[in-house]
Chains A and B, each alone.
Chain A
């Protein structure tokens, strides 16, 4: 079989594969939903983790700046939040 024939045979197979025997409109959306939902599910905790740590660092920074002010100005204590 020539290279060209092989190419057409294989591209024909690929086209048949994507056609899914005429059920492409049902099979591929099903697989798409499967992957999209699971990708969203695996990204969500990563984003939340980043947010949690950022908020925690902000809280630590606020606390340490409050302590610094209290140390440099011992008579006038800042009002507690």
Chain B
């Protein structure tokens, strides 16, 4: 076997190459996010029927559940990138881990607020200290902790290593969030979508949900690439390739 794949990965890990790569892919990811998002909104808000028990209030599911998935998915990506950053000292992995944190925090915040807005009419309360809600709130605090620790150090790379350590320890919370509805008695309903079996939802409601899931995944790619590019410019400010970009954008 030729070794062009590891070679290509090695090149992709270099900041100027990744900067160009991310710049080329970012608009496509954003376009796909908007496309799948628009399809999901039309399917979820207009085409899908009202729920027989919850009426139209259930339509919050189309943003609440994809955001909740993203809050855990982004944490997992951040944890893996943080591990790579600590073990192999790869600058790009540090940047990916640190720039995932604000996006993950945004989705976790959306999950908590939309859940609260859904909880009030259905459960009669904005908030309750049960396992699912509390573990999701802990997830938000973990994201904020990673962001805060990263910025608490004068030296950016030292801060990234400290925050990466916290990110890895916090991974323990991701399965707790996911399985909390099975492990404890909670007000929150169980999983609706089952990857390995029959989902407890009709197809009219399922496809907009899956479309929004794709939209949020593509949005994450677009936002992450935009943030990583900016961070690479800031980190590599003294290097030649960044100076060329700074000068060429001044002339525009």
Which residues of chain B have C-beta atoms less than 8 A from A40's C-beta? Answer: 106
Chain B residues within 8 Å of chain A by Cβ, number: 40
Interface string of A29-71 (1 = CB under 8 A from B): 1110110011011101110110011001101100000000000
Please tell me which one of the listed residues B63, B219, B237, B250 contacts residue A31 in the complex, with CB atoms under 8 A apart: B63
In whole Å, how far is A33's beta carbon from the nearest beta carbon of chain B?
Answer: 5
* Residue picked from A30, A53, A59, most chain B C-beta under 10 Å: A30
Q: Tell me the chain B residues, 195-252 only, with Cβ under 8 Å from chain A.
A: 219, 222-223, 226-227, 229-230, 233-234, 237, 242-243, 245-247, 249-250
The secondary-structure label for the interface of chain A is: helix
In whole Å, how far is B4's beta carbon from the nearest beta carbon of chain A?
Answer: 32
Known: A37-B106, A38-B219, A52-B237. Contact between A27 and B56, CB under 8 A? Answer: yes
10 shortest interchain CB distances as A-B pairs: A21-B56, A23-B57, A49-B230, A30-B114, A20-B56, A21-B55, A30-B117, A34-B63, A45-B227, A45-B226
Q: A residues engaging B (CB < 8 A)?
A: 17, 20-23, 26-27, 29-31, 33-34, 37-38, 40-42, 44-46, 48-49, 52-53, 56-57, 59-60
14 examples of A-B residue contacts, CB within 8 angstroms: A20-B56, A22-B56, A26-B121, A27-B59, A29-B117, A30-B64, A30-B113, A30-B118, A33-B110, A33-B113, A34-B110, A37-B109, A49-B233, A53-B250
